Amino acid sequence: MLQEDQARRAQLRAGAEALVAWTHARRNTWSTEPREIAPKPVLSALDGISALPIVEEERPDVRPAVAAGAVPEPAPVPVPVSVEPAKPVVRFKIPSIPTEAIRAMAGPVLRWSLRAAVLAALVAGVAGGGWMARPYVMKLLIVPTTGTVVLESQPSGSEVLVDGASLGKAPLTTELSPGPHIVEFRQRNATRKIEVEVTAGEQTVARVDWSTTPTGRLLVRSDPDGARVLVDGRERGVTPLTLDDLAVGSHAVVVQTDQGSVRRTVAVTAERDALVTESIYPGWVKLFAPFEVQVSEGARALRVDEQSQVLLSPGTHELRLENRSLGYSETRRVEIEPGKTTSVSLVPSPSMLTVTATTPAIVLVDGEPAGETPLTDHPVSLGTRDIVVRSATGQERRFTRRVTMAPVRIDVDFLKR
């Protein structure tokens, strides 16, 4: 037993010495300056082991009893253990690292250690905080595709239809796709419609009150701004103008400036805004007449260009059209649209032609048969006309007459030459 303990201590000592030798050998590559360090202090703890007293442990005899007359088994023979002699103390050259080198290496190591620690803290914070903020982050990342619409009526219980599809009774809340939708409320035999604009991720309220008269909104815009606005003959303000109190139905709207005015008839509804947008600048009136005419408005004569056009401000105009030589005069009411051309065709009332002859004859006006003599009160257009009276014997009489509003009379005597 003693020999086994001694062998174990020898093996432990040899292993410790080998470990110390390897460690110092590795450090020897750091510097060329030798440093001698004895391995004795490292093994001092093991040296104390040899000084401890060795106590023989009493072990019970566990060998089986030998029966009477039997040959006992021989006792085991101790096996000799060879113990290697202790190795001599080896001295190693320990490298010496200069202080400047240590500082040069310690600075970057310390800086990177601090950065690594801060980074680890940030990662941990983001990981922990990110998990707590996960619902809010997901809410930001998820793009809404619908909007919320709250539908109410006073009193409640109205049937609600959206874009023609019944959704139930008001009040109710539904999700709709972004964009315009027509909401229809039905109560008994009455129906009211409202146009709602749905925005993704937002809430819109559509409400109807059956106790009030349905009204709509009118938006009036003009170019330039500042035009006076009259609705059904009543002045309501200047552009840009928004009116929310117009009863549902048809209304006459006039947009008026010093340069002219524009008149419109607008249908106001409860479900969508009515819009009037007008630019106040001149337009043209073009005349179509079988003869030349002079144009005037009130006491002011208007210039007619070579294309028979007159430039006028937008709005309503009372134009006087006349040709004094023909005795023609007429008044026309025209509505001029900004930047547009309004056509006016003149078809004057015809004059009356009466032709008599001493013998039966045929009457032709501008080459077209008009009848036989006596021809009485035959309508003929104003202007210069070529009239031929031809007898049955082939005799002809030709007349060039300027037909005016006054009746024309021609008498032919074929007996005279």
* pTM exceeding the 0.75 threshold for the entire prediction: no
**147-209 CATH fold:** Immunoglobulin-like (2.60.40)
Inform me whether the pLDDT recorded for 133 exceeds 70: no
Q: Residue 142's pLDDT band (boundaries 50, 70, 90)? A: confident
Residue 206 or 4, more confident = 206
Instruction: Give the pLDDT confidence score for residue 88 in this predicted structure.
Output: 54
Q: Residue 230's pLDDT band (boundaries 50, 70, 90)? A: very high
Fill in the amino acid letter for 415: L
Residue 250 or 76, more confident = 250
Instruction: Give the pLDDT confidence score for residue 319 in this predicted structure.
Output: 94
Domains 147-209 and 351-412 in one fold: yes
Q: Which CATH architecture has domain 351-412?
A: Sandwich (2.60)
Q: Where are the domains of the chain?
A: 147-209, 218-277, 283-345, 351-412
Instruction: Give the pLDDT confidence score for residue 29 in this predicted structure.
Output: 62
- Could you tell me the CATH superfamily of domain 283-345? Carboxypeptidase-like, regulatory domain (2.60.40.1120)
Inform me whether the pLDDT recorded for 350 exceeds 60: yes
Instruction: Give the pLDDT confidence score for residue 46 in this predicted structure.
Output: 44
Residues in CB range of 216: below 8 A, 6 or more apart: 246, 247, 248, 268, 269, 270, 272, 273, 274
Instruction: Give the pLDDT confidence score for residue 357 in this predicted structure.
Output: 92
**Summary mean pLDDT of the chain:** 78
For 289-344, the pLDDT digits (tens) are: 888 899 999 999 999 998 899 999 888 899 999 999 889 999 999 988 888 899 99
Instruction: Give the pLDDT confidence score for residue 221 in this predicted structure.
Output: 92
Contact predicate 282/314, CB 8 Å? yes
